Structure 1
Amino acid sequence: MNALAATNRYFRHAARILGLDSKLEQSLLIPYREVKVEPDEVNALAQLMTRKTAVANIPYGGAKGGIGCKPGELSRSELERLTRVFTQNIHDLIGDQTDVPAPDMGTNAQTMAWILDEYSKFHGHSPAVVTGKPLDLGGSLGREAATGRGVVYATEALLAEHGKSIKDLKFAIQGFGNVGTWAAKLIHEIGGKVVAVSDITGAVKNPNGIDIPALLKHKAETGSLINFNGADEMSADELLVYECDVLIPSALGGVLNRENARDVRAKFLIEAANHPTDPEADEILSKKGVTVMPDIYANAGGVTVSYFEWVQNIQGFRWDEEKVNVELKRYMTSGFDEIRKMCRTHDCNLRMGAFTLGVNRVARATLLRGWEA
């Protein structure tokens, strides 16, 4: 099942739980605007972002966009030209009160800087048009770590409900990019044991816990996880079913499916990536008793701090990093509490608790604005 079909399936399930009429349900499925692209995944991610901002309770809608390319195979100048041409073609669709881009896979603060600069050629200096910018161009302190830090806050909230804490458990992290590295670093600092890590270069394991600062230093020096003295090599597929308490997929979507879900040994799954678990795997994991923290809540830290950055740009006043982190924890903790309320109200799992929360908030806003007519 592709990402769009899976997202629609979860949405329709949430709509049935909430008792939405068919007319309203259909209106919530149709994008406000679509600049046509081929992958259904972009449409699915736009829907997920809409639900995510509603779950996070920030005053955004949701959108997604991208370019079909392999950034790792392009030079810096090629990436800059590509980004600027892309911005030239969408500059009239984005703005600080319309669509506000932020970094995702294959992009970073530099990419956002190019978008800001190109947009400003058409509309004047407008720092709030894009988030995830470098600090020197109006970016927010704490934004780089935000998604990974939000994952940790979500994990803390979930574990606390089960009478557990990070420092007592073992973690396996699939994906060691921005999100995975920050999650691993923070978990290690708290006292949790990261026993397995993987990225596109390979995978390593140590049942006694990996020295994360040393691994980060090794990767920075060599560009790879392989040949690290403090851990043994393993296959990337093995990581998903490695012995641990908490599994955190933080790379690509669809990595957990009916072929491997039955072999997952973790008791908790934190979806740091977008759509890492397909619906069949979700059902299998539920029957196994694995508690799944869904992506539309678990990885909402990034968009939440993007909202904080936007607020700072609009106000022209920078927050210190402590304030950013305190506010992020408050939003993540409140979001989890609201999801649990929906779970109790509708007698559903965390995924449907998050989806019903997000869909219900969007539906109520839609009805109040009269768009269903």
Structure 2
Amino acid sequence: MSTTPADAPLVSLTWTDHVTGRQGYLVIDRLVRGVSSGGLRMRKGCTLDEVAGLARGMTMKEALHYDPQGRYVPLGGAKGGIDCDPQDPEAYGVLVRYLRAMRPHIEHFWTTGEDLGLTQTTVDSAAAEAGLSSTIQAVYPLLDDERAARRRLDDAFAVEVDGIGLDELVGGCGVAEAVLAALDRAGVAYGSARAAVQGLGTMGGATARFLSRAGLKIVAVADVEGTIADPAGLDVEALLAARDAYGTVDRSALAPGNRRLPGGAWLSADAEVLVPAAVSYAVDTVNQSQITARWIVEAANMPVLPEAEELLAARGVTVLPDVVVNSCTNAWWWWTLFGDIGADADEAFTRTRRSMRALTGLMLSRAEADGTTPRAAAHAIAAERLPVIAERFGRYG
């Protein structure tokens, strides 16, 4: 990451838990009207560099969804991270103390929510214990009618579709739409396309569901226990019904034709589309050689290392980048809060599909015109929009 004044993060700090010695991080990449946006992740091995990269990604995600005619005004990018296994018995206490330490930032500058390793319910519970009224309260002064906006968002989080919360579905809807847009552009029929998904948590599970319902055959899924594969196609709904709170599938529920393979087998699945939807850095310079898919669609944040992406591009594998692909989870919060959409599933899915179609198409057209990768194209689009946003709204309010 560049360290020039224009590109360096605005705030970068490391916190050490006085009880366990574990560390946490906050990076505010930039502010718009004095506020930034970005989730909080918890995973063993989380680093400051990782959080800084994610914060820069959030800056770009916000800029890419800028609509001069919309009520939602993009915020700056930020990210929080805690180096702790979320299943550790001490994890919740660490989370509460982290949020208590970050309380001044959350109250005034940083809006946050669930990310890898944490659910929104857990974040909200810990935030209340840490003395926070909300993890997005910094944005409230920017709203025309705070009471109505908060009620609208609360109502949206209460919406369920087929027994699953709308908030758990919009991100996967966006990822799936990016896949479908790429297939349409290449003239590939959905019914002849196969996909493999790494991770069956919130994002991966919803992505698998929307792709399956669109007609794609899901031939492999991976969780912490390994890969489940079936060249004839997996029963996605059955697998989702058999997963626990961490996205791990109960193997006793597998169908007779399902094969249990090692964890990395999803990479070499005979599929046109790979969807890494779990951890960062999943595809490296070594294991990328196993990939035969035509597209890698980044539902997770930073799952493909830059050096691996160069090798993949050289042999014709296209990576659709996280800054576009998984951006609708964040955008949905703000579309709803600012009032571009109501607390309604049909409105949410329609807006998500329309926005992702437009953004994916713009990115791929730009990549083709510039003779570059989709990621470079997305970064170029964001770089053009950031000065416009800064000039119109200012960094500090």
Give the TM-score, by structure 2 length.
Answer: 0.77
| Alpha-carbon displacement from aligned partner over 1:272-321 (angstroms, at most 9, x marks no partner) | 11111112211111111112111111111211112224325xx9x95211
Give yes or no for the alignment of 1:335 onto 2:359.
Answer: yes
Match of 1:301 among 328, 336, 339: 328
CA deviations 1:143-166 (Å, max 9, x no partner) are 211221110011111111111243
> 1:67 — aligned with what?
82
Q: Deviations over 1:25-60 (max 9, x none)?
A: 823421122223453111111111111221232612
Alpha-carbon distance between aligned partners in 2 of 1:293 and 1:223, rounded to the nearest angstrom: 26
Structure 1, unaligned runs of 5 or more: 1-7, 13-24
Q: Secondary structure at the match of 1:280?
A: helix
Aligned mates of 2:76, 2:333 — CA distance in 1: 13
1:266 to 284, 293, 302: 293
Query: Letter of the aligned partner of 1:49 in structure 2?
Result: M
* Structural mapping, 1:89-128, within 5 Å: 89-95=101-107, 98-114=109-125, 117-118=128-129, 121=131, 128=137
Shift of 1:204: 0.9
Asked if the contact 1:202/1:224 (under 8 Å) is kept, the reply is no
Q: How many residues align?
A: 339
Whether contact under 8 Å (2:152, 2:343) holds in the other structure is no
Q: How does 1:1-373 map to 2 (within 5 A)?
A: 8=1, 26-36=4-14, 37=25, 39-57=48-66, 59-74=74-89, 79=92, 81-95=93-107, 98-114=109-125, 117-118=128-129, 121=131, 128=137, 137=154, 140=157, 141=159, 142-220=166-244, 224-227=249-252, 228-229=254-255, 230-312=257-339, 318-366=342-390
Distance 2:241 2:230 in 1: 17
SS in 1 for 2:243: helix
User: What's 1:22 paired with?
Assistant: none
Contact 1:45 1:64 in 2 (8 A): yes
Q: Which runs of 5+ in 2 are unaligned?
A: 15-24, 26-46, 67-72, 141-149, 160-165
Structure having the larger proportion of residues in strand: 2
Query: Deviations 1:312-359 (Å, cap 9, x if unpaired)?
Result: 5xx9x9521111111111221221233234324533221111111112
Shift in alpha-carbon separation, 1:92–1:220, aligned structure 2, 3 A: closer
Counterpart of 1:244 in structure 2: which amino acid?
A
| Larger RCO (alpha carbons 8 Å, 6+ apart) | 1
User: SS at 1:29's partner residue?
Assistant: coil
In the TM superposition, residue 196 of structure 1 has moved relative to its aligned partner by: 0.5
Alpha-carbon distance in structure 2 between the residues aligned to 1:363 and 1:274: 24
Deviations 1:207-228 (A, max 9, x none): 0000111122333499535342
1:67-120 deviation line (CA, Å, top 9, x unaligned): 221111227xx62x443322222221124x73210210111121232255357x
How far apart are the structure 2 equivalents of 1:125 and 1:41?
A: 25
- Pair 333,128 (structure 1): closer, same or farther in 2 beyond 3 Å: farther
Partners of 1:370 and 1:180 in 2: CA distance: 36
Q: CA 1:109/1:100 → structure 2, altered by over 3 Å: closer, same or farther? A: same
* Secondary structure at the counterpart of residue 27 of structure 1: coil
In the alignment, residue 104 of structure 1 is paired with which amino acid?
D
**CA distance in 2: counterparts of 1:48 and 1:339, whole angstroms:** 15
CA contact under 8 A between 1:184 and 1:194: conserved in structure 2?
yes
Cα-to-partner distance string for 1:229-281 (whole Å, 9 max, x where unaligned): 24111111221011111111111111212212122111111111111111221
Contact 1:196–1:203 (CA under 8 A) maintained in structure 2: yes
SS in 1 for 2:312: helix
Larger helix share, 1 or 2:
1
Mapped contact 1:179–1:250 kept (Cα < 8 A): yes
Per the alignment, residue 5 of structure 1 pairs with: none
User: Percent of pairs identical after alignment?
Assistant: 25
